[in-house]
Amino acid sequence: MKNYYQKEIETAPREEILKIQNEKIVKQVKHVYDNVPYYRDLMDKKGVKPEDIKGVDDIKKLPFLTKDDLRECYPYGLLATDLKDCVRIQSTSGTTGKRVVAFYTQHDIDLWEDCCARAIVAAGGSNEDVVQVCYGYGLFTGGPGLNGGSHKVGSLTLPMSSGNTDRQIQFMMDLNATILCCTPSYAAYIGETLAEKGYKPEDNKLKAGIFGAEPWTEEMRRSIEKSLGIKAYDIYGLTEISGPGVSFECEEQTGMHINEDHFYAEIIDPETGEVLPDGEKGELVFTSLDKEAFPLLRYRTKDICILSRKKCSCGRTHVKMTKPLGRSDDMMIIRGVNVFPSQIEAVLLKEGYTPNYQIVVDRKNNTDTFDIYVELAPEQFSDKISDIQSREAALNGAMRSMLGIGPKIHLVAPKTITRSEGKAVRVIDKRKLHD
């Protein structure tokens, strides 16, 4: 069995990782300063010169980059190499404002695929596995990233892309897929569809899933693990920093190891920009240490998480991040109360409901309205109105005690909420339309 485990770097002692990072950052800052006039201006305005950066401890002197900077620089403004040295672009979905376009040299692609390969290995993957990739292919990084990683590991790769669930299931069963890669919401849907077709969890050959690209709770993890009969691993990443594989979970399933030889992570106070110590909750900021074409320094992700350097039983020494506990921009403020969609999902699954739900927030007569549509499983369905009403009241109570605010609950019939094949859209905030 060949498994592509990069043990030497993934379990390197802290001093060694620090040494690698210190060497890389000095070169990287010079590369960016010399080749990206936009960032050079930001550094000049802050009075920082490349010579001031002697190691990762000095990163805090550098200016931040935000999504707004990326939009302003669209498309070539942050490119640090000749365009002729680039071999690929990937892009974000760009639901608000302009898309972000990221460029890659062949070196950048190799580095990124290597990170995805590490994630597959950590989920138990080797050249004996059949990896079914049903993240979208194309501009989205999910499909291409895991596809490349799977090749590096030497697994048989099924490049399915998202959608066409019947065909996904046919290939999964006929070709004995052992590792499934997709968004957690799509994994839940595949599990549900398998059950409808009469398959039991033990009928498939899957052993692991690598799920990410959207927030999901521990409750959702347990529900997917049960429905597919697998161990479910989290994977995190973002287009701006390369794509999936910036960090990934190991068998301990207690946070994701950040590939620290390529990406330097900081946690900052989102209000003040001050760097916070490990263990404190704040906004995750990444510096790319060795990408050539699109090397962002101090990019603010808006993802809120905590870093931990506690020893991991898997032997990997790279720092771990918690799952994003929300985004500084996905927190809803409803009637003055801060509400995160992940809190709602946790309550629903704890109370035995399906992960098929939709949150609708609106404003009527200057007051926020807050509705949650929750789909009943076939066995929960009842046509007795009093049954439904008492369940709705109970769920309202559970939500109120978790959130401090009571939503209007609508329990709806099975199969009435649209399933997601990619990133699920859980929240419809109509207030934005009126603003």
Chain residues that interact with ligand DLL, rule: CB under 6 A: 92, 135, 141-142, 212-215, 234-239, 243-244, 301, 303, 323-324, 327
CA–CA distance, 291 with 276 (Å, rounded to integer): 25
Q: If we measure between CA atoms, which residue out of 276, 275, 247 comes closest to residue 261?
A: 247
Closest approach of Cβ 234 to ligand DLL, in Å?
A: 5
Q: Nearer Cβ to ligand DLL, position 320 or 391?
A: 320
User: What is the number of the residue whose Cβ is closest to ligand DLL?
Assistant: 212
- Minimum distance, C-beta of residue 154 to ligand DLL, in the bound complex (Å): 21
Contact 51, 68 (CB under 8 A): no
Nearer Cβ to ligand DLL, position 325 or 398?
325
Residue among 66, 78, 41, 34 at smallest CA distance from 295: 78
Shortest distance, CB of residue 206 to ligand DLL, whole angstroms? Answer: 17
**Of 316 and 323, which has the nearer Cβ to ligand DLL?**
323
Q: What is the spatial distance between Cα 279 and Cα 47, in angstroms, rounded to a whole number?
A: 31
Tokens of 119: 């994630």
> CB-wise, 4 or 137, nearer to ligand DLL?
137
Q: Which is nearer to ligand DLL, 92 or 105 (CB)?
A: 92
Positive or negative torsion for Cα 170, 162, 160, 118:
negative
Given the complex with ligand DLL, which of 326 and 407 has the nearer CB atom? 326
Greatest pairwise CA separation for the chain in angstroms: 73
Q: DSSP string spanning 337-352?
A: EEE-HHHHHHHHHHTT
DSSP per-residue string spanning 96-123 = SSSPPEEEEEHHHHHHHHHHHHHHHHHT
**Nearest approach, Cβ of residue 11 and ligand DLL (Å):** 23
- Residue linked to tokens 């720092």: 319
For 307-425, where are the alpha helices, taking DSSP H only? Answer: 341-350, 385-403
How far apart are CB 311 and ligand DLL at their closest, in Å?
A: 23
Q: Residue 205 has which token pair?
A: 């050959």
Residue 286 CA to residue 301 CA, distance in Å, equals 7
Least Cβ distance, residue 194 to ligand DLL (angstroms): 22
CB 338 within 8 A of CB 327: no
Q: Which is nearer to ligand DLL, 48 or 89 (CB)?
A: 89
152 versus 327: smaller Cβ distance to ligand DLL: 327
Cβ at position 140, least distance to ligand DLL in Å:
6
The backbone torsions φ and ψ at residue 232, rounded to the nearest 5 degrees and listed phi first, read -105, 125
Q: How far is the CB of 278 from ligand DLL (least distance, A)?
A: 20
CB nearer ligand DLL, residue 43 or residue 332: 332
Nearest distance, CB of residue 210 and ligand DLL, angstroms: 8
Reduced DSSP (H G I as helix, E B as strand, rest coil) percent helix, strand, coil of the chain, to 5: 35, 25, 40
Cα(341)–Cα(382) distance, integer angstroms: 27
Minimum CB separation of residue 158 from ligand DLL in Å reads 16
Q: Give 78 or 376: the residue with its C-beta nearer to ligand DLL.
A: 78
Our CB check for ligand DLL shows the closer of 232 and 409 to be 232
Q: What is the nearest approach in angstroms of ligand DLL to the Cβ of residue 172?
A: 19
Phi and psi (nearest 5°) for 244?
-60, 155
Q: What angle do CA 414, 419, 422 make, to 5 degrees?
A: 165
Residues 388, 409: contact at Cβ < 8 Å?
A: no
Distance (Å, rounded) from C-alpha 72 to C-alpha 61? 23
Distance between CA 219 and CA 348 in Å, rounded? 9
